[in-house]
Amino acid sequence: MFMAASAAFGAPHIPVSVPDEQWQPLSQSRDAALQAELNKYIDSSPRLARLSKDGRLSVALVDLSNPSSPRYAAINGRKTVYAASMPKIAILLTAYDQISRGVLEATPEVESDMNAMIRNSSNGAATRMIDRVGGLDAINITLADPRYGLYDAENGGGLWVGKRYAKTGRRVTDPVAGVSHGASAFQTARYYYLLATGRLVDEATSYNMLQALADPGIRHKFVASLGQLAPDADLYRKSGTWRDYHADSVIVWGEEPWRRYILVGIVQSDAGGDILKDLIPAVETILHPEN
């Protein structure tokens, strides 16, 4: 048994139970109206339009106001790109998958490292977790497992961890994009949608993973905007930064149904941090035009 997650203002808790016969995968949830609004925002800015055209901006948005019928829209959603620390969520999944099977023990040291890896993006903790779960191959085998399908070379790739978060160790690039720490906006959004509906490993494990992603310790990019616009919403988040590569991903879970959504943004630009920060108010206006 697991305890229900805290939620803003009495909003329904996540993970939300959605029966299999009602559950709808994101690959079948593209929403034309939502896509048109997202395109309009990107096209309204010459900088964003240029980055999008050059493949240096990827965005995925999932409206979770009705979790059994998500609405999905994306810009360069299937493109696998370098995503810095954001793919640490793949290490988290591998660890919890192994814990559920009795392969890895959830010791205080393991739990401490998982929290530090996600909340504070500790490279040392991430490297220790990579070694504990059996290395890079174990992580990428888990990602490609048909139960999850979070890396699919036939459909653009997805999440990939091909190097320890350390100066030492081998480098294994992904087969599609040739990057060591990769993600596509679509597969990252799928990860969060599976979590939000209790489908990563199982419902109890999804809850535990959500708790690791809660209360982000780094307050920039998406979290900086959400702290102003939605200070009482629950956030489940992982970001990444390296040089001019900026990535962020979040489940926002608020009291109002319209403020329950997944957002993923990956951008290569010196202004990437500000671009991602500005994406939050734009998305909230799309989801709730009365704002």
Other beta carbons within 10 angstroms of residue 167's beta carbon come to 8
pTM of structure: 0.96
Over pLDDT 70: what percentage of the chain? 96
CATH class of 22-287: alpha beta
Q: Among residues 278, 63, 276, 61, which one has the least CA distance to residue 186?
A: 61
Q: Which residues, at least 6 apart from 143, have a Cβ–Cβ distance to it below 8 Å?
A: 90, 93, 94, 150, 151, 158, 159, 160, 161
Stated as kind and residue range, the H or E segment containing 239 is strand 234-242
Question: Cα separation of 36 and 28, whole Å?
Answer: 17
Burial (0-12, 13-18, 19+ Cβ within 10 Å), 135: middle
pLDDT in tens, 253-266: 999 999 999 999 99
Q: What residue segments make up the domains of the chain, in order of their start?
A: 22-287
| DSSP bridge partners of 259 | none
Q: Say if residue 11's pLDDT is above 70.
A: no
Displacement of CA 245 from its chain's centroid (Å): 16
pLDDT at 64: 98
Residue at 265: amino acid letter: G
Assign 9 a pLDDT band (cuts: 50, 70, 90).
Answer: very low
Q: Among residues 262, 130, 243, 127, which one has the least CA distance to residue 187?
A: 262
Q: What is the pLDDT averaged over residues 239-246?
A: 98
Over pLDDT 90: what percentage of the chain? 95
Does residue 1 contact residue 204 with C-beta atoms inside 8 Å?
Answer: yes
Q: Which residues, at least 6 apart from 132, have a Cβ–Cβ distance to it below 8 Å?
A: 95, 104, 110, 113
Is pLDDT larger for residue 85 or for residue 9? Answer: 85
Question: Cα separation of 28 and 101, whole Å?
Answer: 30
3-state secondary structure of 152: strand
pLDDT in tens, 184-204: 999 999 999 999 999 999 999
Q: Say if residue 3's pLDDT is above 80.
A: no
Burial (0-12, 13-18, 19+ Cβ within 10 Å), 232: exposed
pLDDT at 6: 40
Q: CA geometry: angle at 39 spanning 34 and 41, to 5°?
A: 100
Q: Say if residue 121's pLDDT is above 90.
A: yes
Q: Say if residue 227's pLDDT is above 50.
A: yes
Matching residue, tokens 């290490």: 91
Would you tell me the crossing angle of helices 108-119 and 88-100 to the nearest 10 degrees? 150
